[in-house]
Structure formats: C-alpha cells, structure tokens
C-alpha cells in the first residue's frame, strides 16, 4: 500500500522563516493536526452514515406500516408492530446521539482543517514568539473543547492513518 507524505512544506508551499527551530515546531504541529483532522473527518462520515441509515430505516418502516394499515383495514398487528419497530429504531438513533456526534465531529475536523491552513500561512508569512504563544493558547482551548464534547478517536482510525500517511520531518 502506498503512503502519502505529510509535511508542512511540499512542492507548492515555501517558507520565509529563517529560524529552523520554529519551522520544525510548526512542522510537528502540522503532522499532529493533520492526524486529528483526518481521524475526525473519518468519524464524521461514520456518524453521518449511521444517522442516515437509522433515520432512513425508521422512515421506510413507518411508511410501510401506513401502507399495511391501509391495505388491511382490520386491526392490524403487523401495522402496530412495524410502527413500534420504526419508533424503536428512531429512539435508538436518538439515544446514541448520532446527529450530535456528527455535528461535533464536523466542528472538529473543520477546525483542524483551518488550523492546517493557518500553520501553512505562518510558515509562508513568518511568526514571532508572541504570535506563536497566542496560536498555541488558542489551539489548547480548541483542543480542550473538542476533547470535552466529541467522542474519543477510535484506534482503528489511528492505525488506518498510520498505514496511509507518513510524516516527513523537515531536515
């Protein structure tokens, strides 16, 4: 399997930074946030699939119960059973909070995507120590918020990331 190189500097991105330590620090942050971005994006798509699947199943079964109830005019236990089953599926989806998990994972991966862009901008335009500390404080706050509200990253996404991507440190 082919791996993709992850680096702050690639063919299309150049730097004006002369401080190698700051550049290395930004590159390490880029690798870390790239992994966060990719894993959170995979989680978002997983929760989106689950949410769509369960809501679609509930709607389909509910529609089927309406058709069954219309065709069989007598007291239909099939209709009652289908309606109860659809309600159970919708209740399970609501209990698992897939829509909330989907929304918070979207917030997380778009935040990390913006962070990757910001890191590249700092590399291109330069960053002083005060701005670096401000950036790190902001990222700590965002990381804490994401950690508090979102589910933890599943180990399988980390293993899949490590199979697909390889960080090439700046030397």
Evaluated on CA atoms 40, 154, 142, 5, the torsion sign reads: negative
Tens digits of residue pLDDT in 91-111: 999 999 999 999 999 999 999
Tens digits of residue pLDDT in 3-18: 888 888 765 555 666 6
Q: What is the DSSP string of 108-119?
A: HHHHHHHHHHHH
Q: What is the pLDDT of residue 15?
A: 63
Tens digits of residue pLDDT in 21-30: 888 899 999 9
Reference 118, options 37, 39, 3; nearest CA is: 37
**What rounded mean pLDDT belongs to the chain?**
90
Inter-residue contact 2 to 163 (CB < 8 Å): no
What's this model's pTM, rounded to 2 decimal places? 0.85
**Strand (E) or helix (H) holding 165:** strand 165-167
Inter-residue contact 31 to 93 (CB < 8 Å): no
For residue 63, CA distances in Å to 16, 22, 37, 79, 82 come to 62, 60, 38, 10, 9
């Amino acid at each position: 399997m082919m791996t993709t190189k992850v680096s702050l500097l690639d063919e299309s991105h150049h730097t004006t930074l002369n401080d190698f330590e700051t550049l290395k620090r930004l590159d390490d942050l880029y690798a870390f946030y790239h992994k966060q971005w990719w894993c959170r994006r995979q989680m978002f798509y997983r929760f989106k699939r689950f949410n769509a699947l369960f809501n679609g199943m509930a709607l389909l079964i509910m529609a089927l119960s309406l058709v069954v109830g219309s065709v069989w005019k007598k007291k239909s236990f099939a209709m009652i059973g289908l309606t109860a089953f659809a309600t159970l599926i919708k209740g399970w989806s609501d209990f698992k909070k897939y829509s909330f998990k989907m929304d918070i994972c979207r917030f997380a991966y778009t935040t990390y995507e913006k962070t990757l862009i910001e890191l590249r901008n700092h590399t291109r335009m330069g960053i002083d120590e005060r701005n670096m500390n401000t950036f790190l404080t902001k990222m700590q706050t965002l990381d804490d918020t994401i950690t508090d509200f979102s589910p933890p990253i599943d180990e399988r996404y980390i293993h899949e990331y490590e199979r697909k991507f390889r960080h090439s440190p700046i030397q």
